[in-house]
Each structure stands twice: as structure tokens, then as C-alpha cells.
Structure 1
Amino acid sequence: MGIFSRMTDIINSNLNSLLDRAEDPEKMIRLIIQEMEDTLVEVRSTSARVLADRKTATRRIERLQEEMAGWEEKAKLALSKNREDLAKAAIMEKNAIGEEVMAVEKELSALDEHIAHLHDEVDQLQQKLTDAKAKQKAIIMRSQTIESRMKVKHQVNRDTLNEAFTKFERFERRMDNIEGQIEAMDMGRDNKTQLADEIAALKEDENINAELNRLKAEMNAEKQS
């Protein structure tokens, strides 16, 4: 009964509900499929034993029916010899075997019901197994799709980040170029300023010397007069 109880639980289970509640649907459905396949092996093994029992019961009925026919012939022979007492004994043996035949026929009927039940359960379980394998493929494909999307997303994020770094590097390069241009414009400016200052100082010295010479000349003129 354990096999049939477990098989019935599997058949009556809602795969979608089980998978929705599972933390790892892929692992869950793999375990369900394994359970179904193991149950199918057990049920088929049980079916083989039941079918063997049915064949045994069928052969027993055939043998008992042959015995009944034999006792009936013996009863007829006894009557033909005017041995009614032996005929009655033969009929009693036949009837006893007939009761045994009826018992075996009931057993055979129960075996037929059992076999029919097994066939029905196996058909349902096989259908469930087919559905489960289909869902397994769908789950694996969905898992692979999600994994691929995650890889693409990571790649896109990495590309975006790389692009941002590239833009930043280009911006830095532009700033370096501008600063370089400014520094280039300032190059030599200090030297020019220093030269101009020196020239201006010379001119100033020239003016001072001229003024000094003028004063000297005036003083010499005063002395001579």
C-alpha cells in the first residue's frame, strides 16, 4: 500500500504549486521526476508479480475444471454400472472442486481489478512524468535565459562603465591640452618682461647721466665766470 499511497500523492500533486513554493524549482522538479521514475519501477515490478499470480490462478482453474470433468465422467460410469452410490460420491468430489474453482475465480477477478488499477495509475503517473519533464525543460530554459540576461546586463554595465572612464579620460586629455596651450602661451613671457625692464633701466640711466652731465657743465661754467 505504501507504493500506491506515494503514487497517488504524486498523481494528485499540483506541480505548479510545488514549484512555486520551492526555493530551488530546478532541484525540486528533478527530485519529483526521480521519485516518479522510482515509483514507476516499483509499480511495474509489482505489476509483473500480479500478472504472474494471474497466470498461476488461470492455470489452476483450468486444472480444476479438468478434474471436475473427470469426476463427472466417473459419475456417469458409475451410473452406467448401476453404482449410484459411487456416482453420488463422484458428484460430491466434483462439487467440492467446483467450490474451489469459484474461490480461485474470485481471486482471479480481484487480480484483474488490481491489474486494471495498476494500469490506470501507471498511465496517470506516466502522464505526470511527461508533464514534469516538460516543465523541467522549461525551467532549465528559463534559468539559462535568466543567466544569459544577467551576463548581458553585467556586460552592458561594464561597457557603460568603461565608456564613462573613456569619456573621463578624454575630458582629462582635453584639459591637459588646454593647460598645455596656456603654458605654451606663457613660455618666454617672463624673459621678454625682464628684457624690457633692463632696456627701460638703461634708458633711465641714460637720462640720469644726461642730467648729471648737464649739472656738471653748469657748475664748470659758473667756476669759469
Structure 2
Amino acid sequence: MGIFSRLADIINSNLNAILDRAEEPEKIIRLVIQEMEDTLVEVRSTAAKTIAEKKEIGRRLARLDEAQQSWEEKAELALTKGREDLAKGALVEKAKLAEAAAALQAELEELDALLRQGETDIAKLEGKLREAKAKQQALTARHETAGSRLKVRRTLYDGRVEDAFQRFEQVEKKLDEAEGAVEAYDLSGGGKTLAEEISELAAESAIEDELAALKAKVKKSKETGAADKG
């Protein structure tokens, strides 16, 4: 069953209201467009038939006009021959044709009115169809945008991305620790305090004194040994 029951429903329809009530707007707008296009085909087909009927009636009116003219000429001929009775008969036939022509003329005027209304309806229907297609494009664009945003969100919240961030934080932590160790080493003067350096100097001096004493002892021992031999 169609969304619209007649042409007037389409022309007077509020597409926004229809879509607001729909659970599946994209599906409904497709159906609306299809029904509008089908109706437009029907309205144009009706207009084409009306135009064809107008042309046919025009030809019939032309033939009736010629026939009336012919009966009038016959009436004149009858009068010239003194046959008034025949002249009256000819005028009666002419009157019948004139009556038929008047009926056809009235029908032609009705067809003209229908055709003008059909042209108006086609224009309004085409306007509604353009509106519906614009709505469809807007819905499609919104759907594509929403899909893109959803894809981005899924990517951002992907566990693999979170794992990568965690690994990056661990690397940063290790770098911080290494940099801290270097900075601490620099602050300690290469790893030796002032007291340590002084202690090293004292130890070095004691060793030198002990070495000098040992040298003196060895020298004295040699001198004593040489004296004994002499």
C-alpha cells in the first residue's frame, strides 16, 4: 500500500513530519520518491491523453463547421429555386450540427481546464520530488558522516592502540630513570666526595714515606755488608 492515497496527499504532504514519525527514515524516503515518480508518470500520461482528446475534438469541430457551412449554402440554393421547404430543412440540419458543435466546444473547455490543472499539479509534484530527493541526500550524508565518526571512535578505543600507549609510557619511564642516574652521577663529581679524595692523598703519602724508609734500610744494609768484607 502506498504512503499517499491520492495526488493531493503528495502535494500537501509535510515530508519532515513523515520522516520524524518513521522508524527507518531512509527506507521511507525511498518509498516516497518511488511513489512520487510513479504518480508523476501517471499525471503526465493523463495530460498527454487530454492533449490528444483536445486535438480530436478540434478536428471534429472543424468538420462540423464545414458541414454547417454546407447546409447554409444548400438552404440558399433552395430559396433561389423557390423551394422554401427545402431551405427550412437545410437550416434544421444546420441547427443540429450547431448544437453538436456547442456540446463539443463545452467539452473542449473542460479539457482545457483539466490540462491547466494538470500542468499545475505536475509543477507542484516536481517540486515535491526535488524536496524529497534533497531530503534523501541529506539523510545519506548524515548516515555516511555517522559511519565515519563511528569508525574513528572504534579505532581510537581499539585495545591495540591502548597497548601501544602503555608500551610508550614504559619506555618513557625507563628513559627517565636513565637520565636521573646520569644527573645523579654528575652531581656527585664523578663518584668521589671531597673526603674520599683527601683520604686517597693521605694513603698515597703514607706509601711514599714507607717506600723511602725501605729504600734507606736497603741502602744501609748494603753499606754495612761492604764494610764487613773490607
- TM-score, scaled to structure 1: 0.70
Whole-angstrom CA distance in 2 between matches of 1:5 and 1:145: 34
- Tell me, which stretches of 5 or more residues in structure 1 are unaligned? 178-225
Decide which moves more: 146-155 or 156-165: 156-165
Cα deviation, 1:155-184, whole Å, max 9, x if unaligned, reads 12226533454367669x96xx9xxxxxxx
Q: Distance in 2 between matches of 1:127 and 1:166?
A: 60
Deviation by residue 1:55-78 (Cα, 9 ceiling, x = unmatched): 111111111111001001111111
Q: How many residues align?
A: 172
Amino acid at match of 2:138: A
The residue type paired with residue 163 of structure 2 is: N
SS state of the match for residue 114, structure 1?
helix
Q: Which residue of 1 aligns with 2:167?
A: 166
**1:109 counterpart SS class:** helix
The reply on whether 1:70 has 2:70 as its aligned counterpart is yes
Q: Which ranges of 4 or more aligned residues in structure 1 deviate by more than 4 Å?
A: 167-171
Shift of 1:79: 1.3
Aligned partners of 1:123 and 1:144: how far apart in 2? 32
* Residue equivalent to 1:221: none
Output the CA distance in 1 between the equivalents of 2:140 and 2:98.
Answer: 62
1:104 aligns with 2:129: no
| Amino acid in the other structure paired with 2:78 | A
Distance apart, 1:145 and its partner CA:
0.6
- Measured after TM superposition, the shift of residue 131 of structure 1 is 1.0
* Match runs of 1:40-55 below 5 Å: 40-55=40-55
The one-letter amino acid paired with 1:108 is L
Structure 2 partner of 1:93: 93
- For 2:109, what is the secondary structure of its paired residue? helix
2:80 is aligned to 80
Higher helix share: 1
Identity %: 49
Q: Distance in 1 between matches of 2:155 and 2:142?
A: 20
Matched residue, 2:120: 120
- 1:211 alignment partner in structure 2: none
How far, CA to CA, are the matches of 1:155 and 1:8 in structure 2?
49
C-alpha distance in structure 2 between counterparts of 1:52 and 1:5, whole Å: 27
RMSD: 2.3
Instruction: Work out the CA distance in 2 between the residues paired with 1:65 and 1:53.
Output: 18
Mapping for residues 131-210 of structure 1, pairs under 5 Å: 131-158=131-158, 161-163=162-164, 165-166=166-167
Deviations 1:20-57 (A, max 9, x none): 11111111111100001111111112222211111111
Question: Helix, strand or coil: the match of 1:23?
Answer: coil
